[in-house]
Amino acid sequence: MTARHPVVFLVDVDNTLVDNDHIAADLKRHLEREVGHERQERYWAIFEELRTELGYADYLGALQRYRVEYPRDPHVLTVSSFMVNYPFANRLYPTSLDVLERFRAWGPAVILSDGDAVFQPRKVERSGLDEAVDGNVLIYIHKERELDDVELRYPAEHYVLVDDKLRILTAVKRVWDRRVTTVFPRQGHYAHDPEALATNPPADVTVERIGDLLAHDLDALIATAAAARDPAPTRTS
């Protein structure tokens, strides 16, 4: 039976530990160079269609669908190589590994991410995040729907969840309430989306950069979740 920990830290990947917006921009430039502007735009249209269909970003899946439309385009193979061999470690946010090290001094640190079954694990491995958390990696299709599995694998009295999407933080807060401290690093485009900011309540803790968490101690992080509140956004007439 898995031991119950006083606290477990659950940390997202994209735009939380890794600058995924930068990765996407690099991919866009590579596509522009390899397949041209029109086909580069078609790839991203397929990407968005697939994300709507699946509920998560699938870069390689979009490339497979692109290939069906352009079966004779030899540049597809160079694009797949670019994706799989991308130097993800170069896109870690400053001091993100230091934050994981601090968390590990207090309790298990776990990567908790959405994503596909190939590209996302590759990103976690090549960025060094897998090693930084001793292999404690969970990648789901919709992680906010898998909290029972998270609890089974990493039982804890309290959780600290760090994620750049307020939607995710709100959904988890509804389930775990006082048992979770939600932490919102304002990094990446999702963190600055006006609609998301308007339709979700604030997290328990908001920081501008993941590295800002080095200034927080464990007792303070846990204490912020003590005052339970209705996570549904307050609307004014």
How many Cβ atoms sit within 10 Å of the Cβ of residue 184?
Answer: 23
Domain span at residue 54?
Answer: 20-88
Residue 78, φ and ψ in degrees, nearest 5: -70, -35
Picking from 35, 55, 88, the residue at the C-terminal end of a domain is 88
Tokens 């530990």: give the residue: 17
Residues 14 and 101 in one domain: yes
Cα 155 versus chain centre, distance:
21
- 206-225 mean pLDDT: 94
Residue 161 covered by a domain: yes
63 with 79: CB under 8 angstroms? yes
Residues 191 and 216 in one domain: yes
Residues 180 and 104 in one domain: yes
Residues 207 and 101 in one domain: yes
Residues 58 and 114 in one domain: no
Distance between CA atoms of residues 8 and 114, nearest Å: 18
Picking from 58, 88, 118, the residue at the C-terminal end of a domain is 88
**What are the distances in angstroms from CA 203 to CA 10, 38, 206, 236?**
15, 40, 6, 20
- 199-217 mean pLDDT: 95
CATH of the domain at 32: 1.10.286.50
CATH of the domain at 162: 3.40.50.1000
Count of domains observed in the chain = 2
Mean pLDDT, rounded, of the chain: 92
Structure tokens at 174: 């509804």
Structure tokens at 98: 């230091």
Residues 173 and 199 in one domain: yes
Residue 237 covered by a domain: no
Picking from 34, 54, 88, the residue at the C-terminal end of a domain is 88
Residues 150 and 205 in one domain: yes
Residues 105 and 147 in one domain: yes
180 with 173: CB under 8 angstroms? yes
Residues 105 and 216 in one domain: yes
Q: What is the pLDDT of residues 125-140, one digit of tens each?
A: 999 999 999 999 999 9
Helix, strand, coil shares, percent, the chain, to 5: 55, 15, 30
Q: What is the pLDDT of residues 96-150, one digit of tens each?
A: 999 999 999 999 999 999 999 999 999 999 999 999 999 999 999 999 999 999 9
Residues 81 and 131 in one domain: no
Which of these, 82, 72, 67, lies nearest to 31 by C-alpha position?
Answer: 82
